[in-house]
A and B are shown apart, each in its own frame.
Chain A
Amino acid sequence: MKAWRITLFTTVVLLTSLLGWSQQKRKVIIDQDAAGPAGTDQTAMLLLIQSPQTDVLGITVVTGDEWLNAEVAHTLRMLELVGRTDIPVMRGAEYPLIRRKEETELWEQRYGSVTWLGAWTPKFYHPPNELGDMPEGKPTTKAADEDAAHFLVRMVHQFPGEITVYAGGPLTNLALAIAIDPEFPKLARELVFMGASLNPQTDNPEFLNNPRHEFNVWFDPEATHIVLTAPWKRIVCTTVDISVKTQLTKDLIDKVKAGSSPSAKYMGQYSQLYGEYNYLWDELAAVAWLDPSVITKTEKRYMDIDIDHGAGYGNILTWTDPVKPKLDVQSVEIQVDLDKDKFYKEYVELLTAPTPKKSDSRK
C-alpha cells in the first residue's frame, strides 16, 4: 500500500516536471573549446541546440582543443549552417590562467609526452591568430563584443538559479567569471562538465600510464581548482571512465547522414573517424543532461586537482566521504554507467530533427 502511494507520488512529480519542461525551456550556457567542423565539441553544442527542451542563452568559447579564434569561427559557421545565428557567441580566454606552452614542453622533456595537447599539439599546430582549415567555409557573422566571463556573470544575475552552465572544455572562462564575481557559481542552477579521469578501463595510451590525466582539466589546472572549489549548488561530471564506454562508429554517422535537416547535413558532411578511439566525449555530457535516464549509475566523489608544477601537475584528485579534506572540496555527481542504446538513439534523433526556432527569454 505504502509502496503504491510512493509510486503514484513519484509519477505525479515526474509528470509535473515533464509538463514544466514543455512550458519553460531549460536555460543553458554552453562553455566550450569549440574545435570543428563537427567533432565532439561542435556536435555536443549542436545536440544542446537541437533539443526542443533548451534555451541556449549563448556560447562562451575557450582555447582548448583548438585556439580561440579558430573555435569562434567554427562555432559561428555551425550556427549559420543550422540557422541559429541568434545565439550569441562570446570570445573567452585565449590562454590558460597559468599554464604556458613553453613550460609544458619542458615538462614533457622531463616527465614524458602528453598525447593530446589541444591547440598546442605539434601535428596540428598553427599560430593563435590563424584559423587553420575551415572546409565548412568562413563565417560572415561575428562574435559578440562582450567577453565570455562578463556574459556568464551577467546572465546568472539576470536569471538567478535558472541557468545550467555546461562546460565541455578547459574551465578558464568559468574561473574568470568566479574571479570577477564570487557569487557566480551560487547564482547558477548547476555546473555540468566533461572532464577528469579516475580509472578508465582502456588500453588507450592517453590514459594507460596516467589514468588521472584528462585534457580539459589538465590544460588549465588552476582554473579547474578554482571551479571545483567554488560553491555550486550542484556539479555533474562526465569523466573519461564513462566516455570510453561510448564509440562513434560509421554506422552512427550513416544514420545521422540519412537525415535531411541542416544539422544532419552538417554532421554527415564533416563527421569523421580518427584512429581507433572515437569516444563521444562531450556528446554524452550533453545528452545526459538533456535526458538523465541515459545514465544508469552515478557515484558521489569530492574532486580537486594537483596544481603543484611537478610531475603530477594537472592530475585530478578525488576523495570519498570518510577521507575527504577538511577545506574547500565540493561534492561532485560522477556518471559511472549508461544505457548505450538509448544514448545512440537520442543522439541520432536529435541530430536528424529540425532545428528549433529561437527562444524568447533572450533579449
Chain B
Amino acid sequence: MNGSADNFGITRRQFVTRTAAGFVAGTFVPGNQTLMGNAGSGGKQQQRVIIDTDPGVDDAFALLLAMRSPELKIEGITPVAGNVPLHLTFPNALRMVEIAGRTDIPVAVGASVPLVRRLVTAEYAHGDNGLGGAVFPEPKTKPVSEPASEFIREIVRKYPGEVTLITLGPLTNIATALTIDNKLAEAIRGVVMMGGSLSGGNITPAAEFNVYVDPEAARVVFQSGIPIMMVGLDVTRKTSLTDEHVHQLESQQNPVSQAAAKIGRNAIDHNRKEGFLVGPNMHDSLAVASFLDSSIVTWAEYYVDVETTGELTAGETLGYSPNAGDLKRRPGMENHAPSTMPIHGSAPTLAHTSTSPNVREKYAPNAKVGVDVDSKRFFDLLIGRLSGKQ
C-alpha cells in the first residue's frame, strides 16, 4: 500500500480479515482519503481502471469524465449490450474515445447478450441511438482483437492487485471473465459499480436496470469476494442533469464540453418529449466521480445479493446490514446475528464461491453501498472536468 490512499480504504486482505472479525457499518467509509487530493499534490501514481460500459447517455458523460481525469490510468474500455444493443454501445464507446482525443485507450468488444436471459434495452431513456439522439460521425478507431472478458483478464493479470473495474452497465463481461478464470477475483483491486438499488427500481418496481438485464452476472460479481462500491439508484436518483449544467458546458469551446453539451441537450429534450419532469440522471458519472473522490458519497456496509428467480423481483438487489440499526451488537458479538438466524427462502450463497476462495461469515458485508450524495459537489466536479475548467 506504501501508505497511499486507497479508495476502498482497506486492502483486500484487510477487507476479508476485518469482515471475518466483524465490523460496524461505516467503519471503513473512506472519508477524506481521496484520490483527487493525492493527484493534486503532484506526481502520485495513477489508478489503473477498466471501464465496462453500455453507452448510453450517462455512460457517455461518465466516459468523458473519466478520460478528463488525470488520476485515472484507463487501461481499456469494454462495451457491453445494455441501454442499447451492442452494435450501438460499441461504436458509441469508440466515438467518446475519439471525441476525448484518447484513441490510445484500447476498446475491447464485449457481450451482445446477457449470460442467461434475453436482452432488454432502454431506448425510452437513451434514445434510439443511445445518445439521446445526438448524432456524431461514424468512429474510425478499431477495437482490439480480444473479446472484452479476455481483455479484462489479461490486464488484471498484468497488474495484479492494481486494477479497479468501473462498471456502468450489465455485468456480463465481468462475470464471464470471473467464471473463466476463477482466481481472477483475487487479483482485482475493486469494483465500482453503477447498479442496483436498496430503495426500489427503475425498470421494474424492484430492479435497477443494469442488474435487471443480467441478474445472474450481477450475482456472480457480488459473490466474488471483490471489494465492491455500489453506486445505486439510492444516490444516482439525486443527480438530474439541468439546463443550467448544459449551458455551462455549451459556453466552453472544447470538443469534450461541446460533445457533452450536445448529448445533454438532446437527452434533456428527449426526457421532456417522453414526459419526464426532470433531466436524465447522471447515474454512471456518479460512479466515476465517487471513485475519484469517495467523499462525495456517504457509504454504508451491506451484504448484498441479487434475486435471480422472483416472480416480481428478478434483478432486485437485496441489502442486509446485520450490524446496523436496531440489530447492532456490541463489539465482538457482531457475527452472532447471522449465525443464529434461521434460514428460509434464498440460500446464503456468499460463504464460498467460485470466484472467492475466502470462506466468509454468511451475510457478512460484501459491498459499500452509497446511501447519500452531495449533489452539488458531484456536479461541480462533473461539469468542471467536462468543461475543462477543472
Nearest CB in chain A to that of B116: its residue = A222
Nearest CB in chain A to that of B353: its residue = A100
A33 CB, min distance to chain B CBs, angstroms: 15
Interface contact B116-A182, CB-CB below 8 Å: no
Does B348 interact with chain A (Cβ within 8 Å)?
yes
Does B349 interact with chain A (Cβ within 8 Å)?
yes
CB-contacts of A174-217 with B (<8 A): 175-176, 179-182
Does A138 interact with chain B (Cβ within 8 Å)?
no
**A107–B308 alpha-carbon span in the complex (Å):** 15
Q: Which of A41-49, A295-303, A307-315 contacts B (4 or more CB under 8 A)?
A: A307-315
Number of interface residues of B (CB under 8 A): 32
**A245–B172 alpha-carbon span in the complex (Å):** 41
**A180–B115 alpha-carbon span in the complex (Å):** 10
Interface contact A176-B179, CB-CB below 8 Å: yes
Does A35 interact with chain B (Cβ within 8 Å)?
no
Cβ–Cβ < 8 Å partners of A222 in chain B: 115-116, 216
Nearest CB in chain B to that of A105: its residue = B347
Interface contact A226-B182, CB-CB below 8 Å: no
**A172–B216 alpha-carbon span in the complex (Å):** 14
CB-contacts of A76-108 with B (<8 A): 93-98, 100-103, 106-107
Cβ–Cβ < 8 Å partners of A147 in chain B: 180-181
Does A150 interact with chain B (Cβ within 8 Å)?
yes
Known contacts A102-B348, A180-B147: A95-B115 contact under CB 8 Å: no
Does A149 interact with chain B (Cβ within 8 Å)?
yes
**A149–B352 alpha-carbon span in the complex (Å):** 23
Cβ–Cβ < 8 Å partners of B346 in chain A: 309
Interface contact A93-B149, CB-CB below 8 Å: no
Cβ–Cβ < 8 Å partners of A103 in chain B: 347, 349
Total residue contacts A-B, CB cutoff 8 A: 78
Interface contact B347-A93, CB-CB below 8 Å: no
Known contacts A98-B216, A222-B115: A93-B353 contact under CB 8 Å: no
Known contacts A98-B220, A98-B308: A93-B349 contact under CB 8 Å: no
Known contacts A93-B182, A307-B116: A179-B349 contact under CB 8 Å: no
Cβ–Cβ < 8 Å partners of B172 in chain A: 179
B172 CB, min distance to chain A CBs, angstroms: 7
Interface contact B309-A95, CB-CB below 8 Å: no
Interface contact B182-A94, CB-CB below 8 Å: yes
Chain B interface, DSSP helix/strand/loop, else mixed: loop
Known contacts A93-B180, A97-B115, A149-B180: A102-B352 contact under CB 8 Å: yes
Known contacts A97-B220, A102-B347: A308-B182 contact under CB 8 Å: no
Does B283 interact with chain A (Cβ within 8 Å)?
no
Does B385 interact with chain A (Cβ within 8 Å)?
no
Interface string of B89-124 (1 = CB under 8 A from A): 000000000000000000000011101101000000
Interface contact B352-A101, CB-CB below 8 Å: yes
Does B351 interact with chain A (Cβ within 8 Å)?
yes
Does B372 interact with chain A (Cβ within 8 Å)?
no
A144 CB, min distance to chain B CBs, angstroms: 14
Interface contact A179-B176, CB-CB below 8 Å: yes
Interface contact A106-B112, CB-CB below 8 Å: no
Does B343 interact with chain A (Cβ within 8 Å)?
yes
CB-contacts of B337-390 with A (<8 A): 343, 346-349, 351-355
* Most chain A beta carbons < 10 A, residue from B116, B180, B219, B355: B180
Interface contact A308-B309, CB-CB below 8 Å: yes
Cβ–Cβ < 8 Å partners of B223 in chain A: 100
Does B269 interact with chain A (Cβ within 8 Å)?
no
Interface contact A180-B216, CB-CB below 8 Å: no
**A149–B172 alpha-carbon span in the complex (Å):** 15
Nearest CB in chain B to that of A153: its residue = B147
Cβ–Cβ < 8 Å partners of A149 in chain B: 180
Cβ–Cβ < 8 Å partners of B175 in chain A: 97
* Most chain B beta carbons < 10 A, residue from A102, A107, A179: A179
CB-contacts of B33-49 with A (<8 A): none
Interface contact A95-B216, CB-CB below 8 Å: no
**A149–B115 alpha-carbon span in the complex (Å):** 14
**A226–B176 alpha-carbon span in the complex (Å):** 13
Nearest CB in chain B to that of A313: its residue = B309
* Most chain A beta carbons < 10 A, residue from B147, B216, B349, B354: B354
Interface residues of B (CB under 8 A from A): 111-113, 115-116, 118, 147, 149-150, 172, 175-176, 179-182, 216, 219-220, 223, 308-309, 343, 346-349, 351-355
A-B pairs, top 4 by smallest CB distance, nearest first, are: A95-B354, A103-B347, A106-B347, A100-B349
> Could you write out 16 A-B pairs with CB less than 8 Å apart?
A93-B180, A93-B182, A93-B354, A94-B354, A97-B115, A97-B116, A100-B223, A100-B349, A101-B352, A102-B352, A175-B115, A176-B176, A179-B149, A179-B172, A180-B149, A307-B116
Beyond the given pairs A106-B347, A150-B150, A222-B115, 16 more chain A to chain B contacts, judged by CB atoms under 8 angstroms and listed by A's residue number, are: A95-B179, A97-B175, A97-B220, A98-B116, A98-B220, A100-B353, A102-B347, A102-B351, A147-B180, A176-B176, A176-B179, A176-B180, A180-B180, A181-B147, A182-B112, A307-B116
